[in-house]
Amino acid sequence: MSGRRHRPLGRAGARGRPMRRTCRLPGLALVVTLSSVLAACAAEPAPLGAPRLDHLSTYVWQRDDTDFGGFSGIELSDDGSRFTVISDRATIRWGGVRRDAGGRITALDPVQSARLHDRKGKPLKPDWRGDSEGLAIGADGRIWISFEGTTRIARYDRPDGPAHPLPRPAAFDDMQRNSSFEALAITADGTVLTLPERSGKLTRPFPVWRWRDGVWDQPFSIPRSGDWLAVGADIGPDGRFYLLERDFRGLLGFRSRVRRFDLSETGLTNPVTLLESYPLQYDNLEGISVWQDDQGIRITLISDDNFGMFQRTELVEFRLSE
């Protein structure tokens, strides 16, 4: 398939050291034949000269903290030196990114954290009302977060401040439970874009909702493609819309795909598949941040470990080549 990588990609340990990675089942006591594993990992090479994401590093983030994990959204500063992440249990963390001479992550510190609050300034509980999923940060520094439990978008002027929820169109109540807004992005002019994880039917496109000038509308949509589900989004420094999608393969784990679209008033056009991973190549990638260094566009993805003992938090970084 166009855009799919054809070789195993490197990975880094907790200190950023590259490690050889092979397909593995996530800690389950299962016996899989070598032939079936190789079949699951098989992928077609990307067409010569096609835009693609080249893997740079995988950093495994670990902390001795009961609230640590479940990360579903990430934003990096314009130069990749600062990060902000949210957990799906209503917590937000932020801090600095340390890198080696090759630009690979070696540590995330110092890390600060806060509990998200409701509109009255009360801490959100880590339940269905605190299911924070999507993250976007505007040019003015204000934080935008999408929630799945009660489908909504809220603005935060500071991480530990009260929520400023946006109005909720009636259509938000019709979205599938636990499958609504995970993908969230904001443009340079402050326009918020979001779409649900599921559209309701395999033949129904994903509706893209837009918040602009104090009004919601649903100006365009993205056609569904197989079993891929929308879990993350960002606007790149090139003004394009980047979409992170996930495909759960049962016992074989997760696949991930990153697509890029041209963004205009009339819609999202010219889709290009930049990455399509094979099962178990990475963990459950849910958050995406697109930024730029002196060599070009870079993409950072973060995984949601579901607070499970057989999963882990990975920050996977790529460079866009075209």
Domains of the chain: 11-321 (2.120.10)
Q: How far apart are CA 149 and CA 45, in angstroms?
A: 39
Regions in the chain scoring below 50 on pLDDT: 1-43
What is the pLDDT at residue 179?
Answer: 64
> pLDDT, tens digit, for every residue of 189-209?
999 999 998 766 777 899 999
Q: Per residue in 251-268, pLDDT tens?
A: 888 999 999 999 999 899
Query: In the prediction, which pLDDT does 153 show?
Result: 95
d(Cα 293, Cα 98) in Å, to the nearest integer? 14
State if pTM tops 0.75.
yes
Residue spans of alpha helices (H) in the chain: 34-41
Q: Which of 255, 253, 250 is nearest to 225 (CA)?
A: 255
What is the pLDDT, as a whole number, of residue 48? 65
Does a cis peptide bond (omega within 30 degrees of 0) precede residue 223?
no
Q: Distance (Å, rounded) from C-alpha 289 to C-alpha 299?
A: 6
pLDDT at residue number 169: 92
Q: Which long-range contacts (CB under 8 A, 24 or more apart) does 260-264 make?
A: 260/51, 260/236, 261/222, 263/187, 263/235, 263/239
pLDDT at 149: 80
